[in-house]
Amino acid sequence: MQPEPILRIEKLVKRFGQFTALHGVDLDIQEGEFLTIVGPSGSGKSTLIRLLVGIEEPTSGHISLRGKRIETLPANHRPTCMVFQSLALFPHRSVGENIEFPLKIRGDAVGPRRERALALMDLLHLPQDFYDKRINQCSGGERQRVALARALAFDPEILFFDEPLSALDFRLRKNLEKELKDLHARTGKTFVYITHSLEEAMLMSDRIAIMREGGFEQIAVADEIYAKPVSRFVAEFMGEVNLFDVESTGGGGLQGSGLEVQMAPDQLLPELRVPQGGHGALMVRPEAVRFLGPGEAADFALDGVMRAEYALGSRTQYKVEAGDGREIAVEKLREDRFAGRSGDPVRLGWDQGHCHMIVEE
Amino acid sequence: MERHDRTMGLLSALPVLLVLLLSFAAPLLVVLAFSVMPPKVFDLAHMPDFSAYGVLLSQGYHRSLAWALGTALASTILLFLICWPLAYAMAKVFKRFTLVITVAVVITLFVSENIRLFGWVLTLMKGGLIEGHLRALTGMSFEGALYNVPIIIFGLVYVYFPFMLFPLVQGISMVPDDARQAASDLGASKWQVFWEIDLPLSAPGIVVGSLLSFVLAAGAMAESKLLGGQAVIVIADEIETAFTYGQNWPLGSALSIVLILIIGSLAVFGVSRVDLDSIMGRGR
């Protein structure tokens, strides 16, 4: 049985005039988990987080923290806090004063407040002599740490993040993603993180919630969302993917344009079957597609022509044009790269164990 | 290259600098020189003495100075209290309506200060708009609301309203919304957000608005003359009297110099208290 969630969202709706930003969303967040809400711009993720921290009020619906309704509580009365996209550090206060801010507001004495700020600086790898430094003298990464330390000083029940790493350069972002994951493990706090970066979500989260047009499309652990998306939208949002329109052959098998199904219908895995008369999208990720040699077999195969090659560092991505003109993406490790050239005919294949079926009515 | 740019910059600024020196610094220097001349002389060809400053101390001019600074301070505080909510709404709440208020306030400046004050005299005097109507309609009468200190302060607040309002609007609009939201998210009440975030981050606007209002009010005399009926004599009035009826230019100059020094020190102190770099988030 699932434990009682720390935060429960029920039928939450937010309208701005005629525009509905959230269409009655439901979500349970478990204590201590790292949940990432991912979605394209305008999907409603920032609106949702602003409702959760109390900066905005919902049009209808409920938010309960440990069973207690909080949707009408103002932000300063909620035991939650947020790291803003802009970080929202106070430019007129020093690093130490920024971190101490929630303690000062709470009425803590100067001594303990300074002690706590220094301990948090230590936790976040900020040198102690940064205490008196001005915010405008800190680098981007240091500011991130100050914002995090300030949020932790508040000692929130849930810590929300609104795309706080989006403005940083790639290398720093990668480092901070890992640090954030470590910090989550060390503090044991509940983290709810918003991003439009799939990689960020995959790296850090226990669970990922995909948002689309003001609602949740799928909520699951990262692996499940990657391997078993519930819709084309999720499949395509979670990175490069090949989707083939298929339909039932009547005998329990599958058929699709240009796709060779090289196995008997009764060998098809039950989760890949499409109901009689129905159709679906057969999904295979680029890393599961192989270049087939002469006489080499695979459960699914198709012929095409090599069109382009893109170096991705440790991997190489290929674009192959299939017979019907569609492009198939293939990814190989650098050491397994394709030996041919652009324009060469190729035969691609993959096994049904690497496939997923998105059934469409 | 940088040095060359600087030289060119200085050279191109030279004509304006000379005009400024002639039009601003020269009269000040003349006033300064007259302030150390013997009483009632009209040229500078005399041995300097400080008798004008002695008169200033011995003849109770400090009272006029105190009235000027006191009414200026009171009006500046009142202006801040009155303008803050409106400025906040103009900067953060009203949208197109802000323009309507801006135009409405600016239009009042198109009419001369004296005419506007006479309007208030006609409104508030015995037999004026308010008392006259009240007497005609109800038979009740009162002495009118003019000729006292509060009405002088009212006049100063009325006249210098735009000089506090617009700098405050500018100052408040410099406060980032997310800093306010973050403070509230970290537990700050509305009052604490105002005290910890709004006030320090809009300090440039507050300082500019307060300095403008205070400096102008401290040097004003139309309000005390027209509305106050000289219930109190302010320093600007004394300066005018010394230069005109008194024919005592050195005394008028000494009074002017004292006023300039006091207001100048306050201005320098006020501006030095604002760390614009940290508020704007600029590196140093």
- Contacting residues of B for A92, CB less than 8 Å apart: 200-201, 275, 278-279
How far does the CA of residue B177 sit from the closest CA of chain A (Å)? 9
CB contact under 8 A, B201 and A91: yes
pLDDT score recorded for residue B250: 93
Cα-flanking dihedrals φ and ψ of residue B261, to 5°?
-65, -45
| B262 contacts chain A (CB < 8 A) | no
Name the one residue in this structure whose structure tokens are 């003359």.
B225
Which chain A residues are Cβ-neighbours of B171 within 8 angstroms?
none
Nearest CB to A137; choose among B181, B279, B283: B283
Instruction: Name the token pair of B6.
Output: 């600087």
Which of 3.40.50.1000, 3.90.1300.10, 3.40.50.300, 3.30.499.10 is the CATH number of A7-232? 3.40.50.300
Q: What is the pLDDT of residues B77-97, one digit of tens each?
A: 999 999 999 999 999 999 889
Q: Say how far apart CA A215 and CA B238 lie, in whole Å.
A: 74
Give me the pLDDT at residue B92, please: 92
Give the torsion through C-alpha atoms of A163, A168, A174, A177, to 10 deg: -30
The answer to whether B75 and B213 are in contact (CB under 8 A) is yes
Quick one: closest CA in A to B186, which residue?
A102
- B95 — contact with chain A (CB < 8 Å)? no
Contact A286, A317 (CB under 8 A): yes
Point out the residue among A75, A81, A92 whose CB comes nearest to the CB of B279: A92
**The pLDDT value given to residue B1:** 66
Which pairs with CB-CB distance under 8 Å and at least 24 residues apart come from B156-160? Answer: B156/B71, B156/B72, B156/B75, B156/B217, B156/B220, B156/B223, B157/B75, B157/B78, B157/B79, B157/B82, B158/B116, B158/B120, B159/B113, B159/B116, B159/B117, B159/B220, B159/B222, B159/B223, B160/B75, B160/B79, B160/B212, B160/B213, B160/B216, B160/B217
State the pLDDT confidence band at A275, using cuts at 50, 70 and 90: confident
| Closest chain A CA to residue B274 | A92
Cα–Cα distance between A120 and A158 in angstroms, integer?
A: 17
Is residue A151 within 8 A of residue A193, CB to CB? The reply is: no
What strands lie across the sheet with A207-212, from one edge to the other? A80-83, A158-162, A190-195, A34-38, A207-212, A215-220
Mean pLDDT of all residues belonging to chain B: 90
Q: For position B281, what pLDDT does the model report?
A: 54
* Amino acid symbol at A201: A
B276 has a chain A CB within 8 A of its CB: no
Nearest-CB residue to A88 (from B181, B192, B284) = B181
Query: How far apart are the C-alpha atoms of B40 and B28, rounded to whole Å?
Result: 19
Q: A201 or A168, which is more confident?
A: A201
Q: Mean pLDDT across the stretch B215-224? A: 91
**Nearest chain A Cα to B184, which residue?**
A76
CATH architecture of A241-360: Beta Barrel (2.40)
Q: State residue B267's pLDDT score.
A: 85
Pairs of residues, one from chain A and one from chain B, whose beta carbons lie less than 8 Å apart = 77
Strand partners, A64: A8, A69
| Residues A124/A127/A128/A131 CA torsion (nearest 10 deg) | -80
Cβ-based contacts of B197 with chain A (< 8 Å): 90
pLDDT exceeds 80 at position A252: no
- Segments making up each domain of chain A, as ranges: 7-232, 241-360
Asked if the model's pLDDT at residue A1 lies above 70, the reply is: no
**Are residues A76 and B184, on separate chains, in Cβ contact within 8 Å?**
yes
Closest approach of chain B CAs to the CA of A51, in angstroms?
12
Position B283 scores a pLDDT of 45
Q: Do A76 and B280 touch (CB under 8 A)?
A: no
Residue B277 has pLDDT above 80, yes or no: no
Chain B CA closest to residue A102: B186
What is the structure's pLDDT at A172? 83
Taking the C-alpha atoms of residue A276 and residue A359, their distance in angstroms, rounded to an integer, is: 11
Instruction: Tell whether B191 is within 8 A of chain A (Cβ).
Output: no
Yes or no: say if A81 and B186 are a contact pair by the CB < 8 Å rule: yes
Q: According to the model, what pLDDT value does residue A212 have? A: 93
Q: How far apart are the first and last CA of chain B?
A: 23
Question: Are A76 and B185 an interchain contact pair (Cβ–Cβ within 8 Å)?
Answer: yes
Chain A CB contacts of B188 below 8 Å: 76, 101, 105
> Would you call A88 and B182 a contact, using CB atoms and an 8 Å cutoff?
yes
Q: For the residues B33-41, what does the mean pLDDT come to? A: 89
Q: Among A47-61, A87-101, B7-21, B137-151, which is the least confidently predicted range?
A: B137-151
What tens digit of pLDDT does each residue of A256-272 get?
877 888 888 888 888 88
Give the residue-averaged pLDDT of A214-228.
Answer: 92
pLDDT > 90: percent of chain A: 65
Instruction: Measure the CA–CA gap between A148 and A120, rounded to whole angstroms.
Output: 9
Comparing CA positions, the residue from A183, A182, A185, A178 lying closest to residue A202 is: A178
Interatomic CA distance for residues B113 and B222, integer angstroms: 8
Report the DSSP beta bridge partners of residue A284.
A242, A355
Taking the C-alpha atoms of residue B247 and residue B32, their distance in angstroms, rounded to an integer, is: 17
> Is some CB atom of chain A closer than 8 A to the CB atom of B192?
yes
Measured between CB atoms, which of A55, A101, A135 is closest to B181? Answer: A55
Four-way CATH pick for B63-280: 1.20.58.410, 3.20.20.140, 1.10.3210.10, 1.10.3720.10 = 1.10.3720.10
Mean pLDDT (whole number) for A218-233: 91
Assess whether pLDDT exceeds 80 at residue B213: yes
Select the residue of A76, A92, A102 nearest B278 (Cβ to Cβ): A92
Question: Which of A56, A84, A92, A134 should be substituted to probe chain B, the one whose Cβ sees the most B Cβ atoms within 10 Å?
Answer: A92
Residue A195: which of A41, A13, A65, A47 has the closest Cα?
Answer: A41
A53, closest residue in chain B (CA to CA): B185
Residues of B in contact with A102 (CB under 8 A): 186-187
Tens digit of pLDDT for each residue in B172-196? Answer: 999 999 999 999 999 999 999 999 9
Closest chain A residue by Cα to residue B174: A91
Q: Please state the three-class secondary structure of chain A as a single string.
A: CCCCCCEEEEEEEEEECCEEEEEEEEEEECCCCEEEEECCCCCCHHHHHHHHHCCCCCCEEEEEECCEECCCCCHHHCCEEEECCCCCCCCCCEHHHHHHHHHHHHCCCHHHHHHHHHHHHHHCCCCHHHCCCEHHHCCHHHHHHHHHHHHHHCCCCEEEEECCCCCCCHHHHHHHHHHHHHHHHHHCCEEEEEECCHHHHHHHCCEEEEEECCEEEEEECHHHHHHCCCCHHHHHHCCCCEEEEEEECCCCCEEECCEEECCCHHHCCHHHCCCCCCEEEEEECHHHCEECCCCCCCCEEEEEEEEEEEECCCEEEEEEEECCCCEEEEEEEHHHCCCCCCCCEEEEEECHHHEEEEEEC
Q: What is the mean pLDDT of residues A165-176?
A: 83
Listed as own residue / partner, the contacts of B27-31 with beta carbons closer than 8 Å and 24 or more positions apart are B28/B260, B31/B253, B31/B256, B31/B257
- What's the Rg (C-alpha) of chain B? 23
Give the residue, A190 or B24, on which the prediction is more confident.
Answer: A190
The pLDDT value given to residue A360: 80
Residue B103, min C-alpha distance to chain A (Å): 29
Grade residue B284 by pLDDT with cuts at 50, 70 and 90.
very low
pLDDT greater than 70 at residue A91: yes
Q: Using CA atoms, how far apart are residues A219 and A242, in angstroms rounded to an integer? A: 22
Percent of chain A beyond pLDDT 70? 99
Residue A74 above 80 pLDDT?
Answer: yes
**Mutation target vs A (from B174, B186, B190, B273; most A CBs, 10 A cutoff):** B186
Delimit the domains of chain B by residue range.
63-280
Residue A79 CA to residue A154 CA, distance in Å, equals 8
Q: What is the mean pLDDT of residues A78-97?
A: 93
Task: State the burial class of residue B177 (Cβ atoms within 10 Å of its Cβ: 0-12, 13-18, 19+).
Answer: exposed
> Looking at residue B273, what is its pLDDT?
77
Does the beta-carbon distance from A101 to B196 stay under 8 Å?
yes
Under a CB-based contact definition with an 8 Å cutoff, are residues A21 and A47 in contact?
yes
> What is d(CA A240, CA A329) in angstroms, rounded to the nearest whole number?
7
**Once rounded to an integer, what is the mean pLDDT over residues A176-205?**
90
A107 Cα to chain B: minimum distance (Å): 11
Higher local confidence (pLDDT), B18 or B41 = B18
Residue of A nearest to B177 (CA): A88
Contact between chains at B201 and A135 (C-beta distance less than 8 A): no
Q: Which of B179, B187, B275 lies nearest to residue A90, judging by beta carbons?
A: B179
